[in-house]
Amino acid sequence: AQSVSQHNHHVILSEAASLELGCNYSYGGTVNLFWYVQYPGQHLQLLLKYFSGDPLVKGIKGFEAEFIKSKFSFNLRKPSVQWSDTAEYFCAVKEISSGSARQLTFGSGTQLTVLP
Amino acid sequence: EAGVAQSPRYKIIEKRQSVAFWCNPISGHATLYWYQQILGQGPKLLIQFQNNGVVDDSQLPKDRFSAERLKGVDSTLKIQPAKLEDSAVYLCASSIGGGTGELFFGEGSRLTVL
């Protein structure tokens, strides 16, 4: 079965520090990749997604992620974090098999705390 | 555009009692999902509907959980009888289609089973 690993459970950074959150998945075929964010007290919302093409994708609020197929990874990055980036971040993967998409599988999440 | 609506936001029950959660997806979204998110874990899919038909319920504990989407719009998730390990946030999401489209989530219903 598909699995998604987020190795960092809790990351604490100071404002202006650079961020990289790791995400690895187990499926060897075609995948669609997502990062979702959940700000305190709010619902999950899409940060960015990768379907095909340029492996470096840009999302909202200055976030970007790079798909490295050989490493089964889709790490999230931001050059300079802000206090308002404090949130929980979830990586999610959809297997694409025979042209149809299977269920979206989430990682366990990374809680990011940005200190002012 | 109105988002995915869920109710109730919070529910506390004792084990062996029953509970029901309601979800109204974004208008026009054919696909509806129920996820279970246990504290410290990522959301886990319980059931996926395409219109009023079930697409995937492989991870739904069918001995106690049931869900329906009778008219292809809103949906109800029921747990009967509840167990302690059912304490979680139950998330509803919807998407335009069931393929590669983005999922839009509601704020969730937090269940505590005592």
Q: What is the pLDDT of residues B56-101, one digit of tens each?
A: 899 999 999 999 998 889 999 999 999 999 999 999 999 987 666 6
In 10 A of CB A95, how many CB atoms?
A: 20
Contacts of A14 (CB under 8 A, 6+ apart): A114, A115
Which tens digit of pLDDT belongs to each residue from B36-54? 999 989 999 999 999 889 9
Show contacts of A63-67: CB within 8 Å, 24+ apart. A63/A35, A65/A33, A65/A35, A67/A33
Say if the Cβ atoms of A100 and B99 lie within 8 Å: yes
Average pLDDT, rounded, for chain B: 93
For A104, which of B40, B103, B108 is closest by C-beta distance?
Answer: B103
pLDDT at A12: 97
Taking a contact as any Cβ pair under 8 Å apart, which residues of chain B between 14 and 73 contact chain A?
A: 33, 40-45, 48, 56
For A43, which of B33, B40, B106 is closest by C-beta distance?
Answer: B106
Q: What are phi and psi of A85, to 5 degrees?
A: -85, -5
Query: What pLDDT band is residue B21 in, cutting at 50, 70 and 90?
Result: very high
Chain A positions touching B24 (Cβ under 8 A) are: none
Three-state DSSP class for A38?
strand
| Alpha-carbon distances of A71 from A26, A40, A49, A110, rounded to whole Å | 10, 32, 18, 20
What is the arithmetic mean of pLDDT over A72-88? Answer: 97
pLDDT at B72: 84
For A108, which of B33, B40, B100 is closest by C-beta distance?
Answer: B40
Q: Is the pLDDT of residue A102 over 80?
A: no
- Percent of chain A's residues with pLDDT above 90: 78
Which tens digit of pLDDT belongs to each residue from A39-62? 998 999 999 999 999 999 999 999
Query: What pLDDT band is residue A113 in, cutting at 50, 70 and 90?
Result: very high
Chain B positions touching A92 (Cβ under 8 A) are: 42
